């Protein structure tokens, strides 16, 4: 593990002390856990985005349907 120095506003430091006490842990451990969670979420988002960008829909076979053809069944129900 590495030791780092973190600079923050007094109000943020006070919140961190209270939150760490509430969780029965140290401020150092609290910040480390928060950063680890942020890292996991960011990595998961990046993986999901890369998978989404790889997606290529299958090419359509034949002609495209017209708007009227797409909605014909729904329109017939109201006539």
Residues 6+ apart with CB under 8 A from 54: none
Q: What does the alpha-carbon distance between residue 65 and residue 71 come to, in Å, rounded to a whole number? A: 10
Residue ranges covered by each domain of the chain: 1-58
Query: What confidence category does residue 79 fall into, taking pLDDT thresholds of 50, 70 and 90?
Result: low
CB count within 10 Å of CB 58 equals: 5
Would you place residue 76 in the very low, low, confident or very high pLDDT band (cuts 50, 70, 90)?
Answer: confident
41 token code pair: 């979420």
Please give the residue that has the higher pLDDT: either 68 or 8: 8
* pLDDT, position 68: 83
What is the tens place of the pLDDT at every residue in 29-60? 999 999 999 999 999 999 999 999 898 877 77
């Amino acid at each position: 593990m590495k030791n780092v120095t973190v600079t923050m506003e007094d109000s943020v430091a006070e919140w961190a002390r209270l939150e760490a006490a509430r969780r029965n842990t140290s401020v150092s451990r609290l910040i480390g856990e928060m950063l680890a969670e942020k890292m996991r979420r960011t990595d998961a988002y990046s993986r999901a985005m890369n998978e989404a960008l790889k997606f290529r829909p299958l090419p359509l076979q034949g002609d495209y349907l017209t708007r009227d053809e797409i909605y014909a069944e729904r329109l017939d129900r109201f006539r």
